[in-house]
Amino acid sequence: MKRKLAVQIAIIAIAVAFILIGIFSGEATIVLRKARDICLSCIGIG
Amino acid sequence: MKHERKRTIIQFLAAAFFNGYAAGFAKGQIFKGGTKILCVPVLNCYSCPGALGSCPIGSLQAVLGSRNKRFSFYVLGLMMLFGMVLGRLVCGFLCPFGLLQDLLHRIPIKKVKVNPKLDKVLRYVKYAVLLVLVLLLPVLIRNDFDMGETWFCKYLCPAGALEGIPLILANPALQSALGFLFSWKMCVLLIVLISSTLIHRPFCKYLCPLGAFYGLFSKFSLYQMEIDKSKCIGCGKCESVCPMDVKCLKDMNSAECIRCGKCKAQCPVHAIESTFGFNLKKKGE
C-alpha cells in the first residue's frame, strides 16, 4: 500500500511539474492558438 | 433511479458542458475564447462549434508538430493528472463519443460477439495508435518548416469528423474545399458508428488513444474499483454485464475497465465498491 501511495504522489507531482514547465515554455499558448483556429485536417479538409 | 439512467444523464450533462458554446452551431463558427487554453479530459474536437476547451489528443499532436518542439510537457502533464485522478472514469461517464457509442448499442438488433483471440489482439491496436499516430509520427515526419502533422486527427479520429459536420453544413467556404480526405473520414466514422450498434464501444476498445493512455493509470488512479472477496459469492454477474468484457473477479482495475459501474449495480451481494482518494488502508482492514 505504501508503494502504491508513493507512486500516486510521484505521478501527481510529475504531472503538476510538467504542467508548470509547459506553461512557462509557452506550450499553453500554442494550444490556445491552435484551438482558436479551425483544425481543417480534424474535420477532413486538407 | 436506476444506475444506467443516472449515468446517461451525467454523460449528456458532460457532453453539453464541454460543448456549451451553443451559438457556434447556429453561426457555423468555433469558440475562440480563453478557456481553450485548457484541455478537457475527453476526446472532444476543438473544431466542434460548441467546444469550450481543447481536445488533449489534438493538442498533444499540435504541440509535438510545432516548430522546435519534440515533447509536450503541458498536455502530457494535464493528461497524466486526468489519468491519475479519474482514470477511465472519464470514458464511462464524461466522454461524448463514449455516450454516442452507448446510445447506438441500445438499438435493438442482433449483437456480434468478437472472437476472444481476435479481441485480445485488437485491444493492443489502441496502444499502437497512441504510440505511432499520436506520439511518433508528428515528431518524426516533418515538413520543410520543421512542422509535423496531426496524424490521428487527420486520418483516424471519428469524433473530429462527426463534430466537424455542423461546421461544414453552416459554412459554404468549407463545403467548397471538401475532397478525398473528407470522404475517407466519413467512411471511418460510418464504420465506427455501424460497428457500435453491433459491438459495445468498439472505438474505446480498439482504437482510442486517450483511453489507452488513461488505461495505463488504472492500477494507480485515485478512483478505484474494489471487490470484497469475503462477500463475493462468485456468481459471475459482474463479468456477464461488463460492456468491456473485463474479468472482474480476476482483475477489477483492468486497463480496459471504463468504470461504468454496471458490475457494482448488478452485484447481488454488494461486494463491489468504488473508492476515491489516497487509499491508506491495508488490504483486509
The overall average pLDDT reported for chain B is: 94
pLDDT in tens, B122-145: 999 999 999 999 999 999 999 999
What's the whole-number mean pLDDT along residues B91-102? 98
pLDDT at A42: 92
pLDDT at A1: 74
pLDDT at B64: 96
Under an 8 A CB cutoff, do B74 and A34 touch? no
Under an 8 A CB cutoff, do B74 and A36 touch? no
Chain B partners within 8 Å of A39 (Cβ): 45-47, 58, 62, 150, 153, 160
User: In chain B, where are the structural domains located?
Assistant: 3-215, 223-276
* pLDDT tops 70 at residue B280: no
Residues B255 and B258: their CA atoms lie apart, in Å, by 8
pLDDT in tens, B49-84: 999 999 999 999 999 999 989 999 999 999 999 999
The owner of cell 447506438 is B104
Chain B partners within 8 Å of A34 (Cβ): 46, 54, 58-59, 62-63
Band (B281; pLDDT cuts 50, 70, 90):
low
pLDDT at A46: 72
Under an 8 A CB cutoff, do A38 and B47 touch? yes
The grid cell for B123 is: 485491444
Band (B285; pLDDT cuts 50, 70, 90):
very low
The grid cell for B85 is: 485522478
Residues B42 and B36: their CA atoms lie apart, in Å, by 13
**What are the start-end ranges of the H helices in chain B?**
3-18, 22-27, 56-64, 73-85, 89, 96-105, 116-122, 125-128, 137-140, 151-155, 158-169, 172-175, 180-198, 202-206, 209-215, 237-241, 262-266
Instruction: Measure in Å the smallest separation between the Cα of A10 and chain B Cα atoms.
Output: 10
Class of the CATH domain delimited by B223-276: alpha beta
pLDDT in tens, A5-44: 999 999 999 999 999 999 999 999 999 999 999 999 999 9
* pLDDT tops 50 at residue B284: no
Under an 8 A CB cutoff, do B84 and A25 touch? no
**pLDDT above 70 as % of chain B:** 97
Q: Are the CB atoms for B35 and B53 separated by under 8 Å?
A: yes
- The yes/no answer to whether this complex scores an ipTM above 0.85 is yes
Supply angle C-alpha B23, B26, B29, rounded to 5: 75
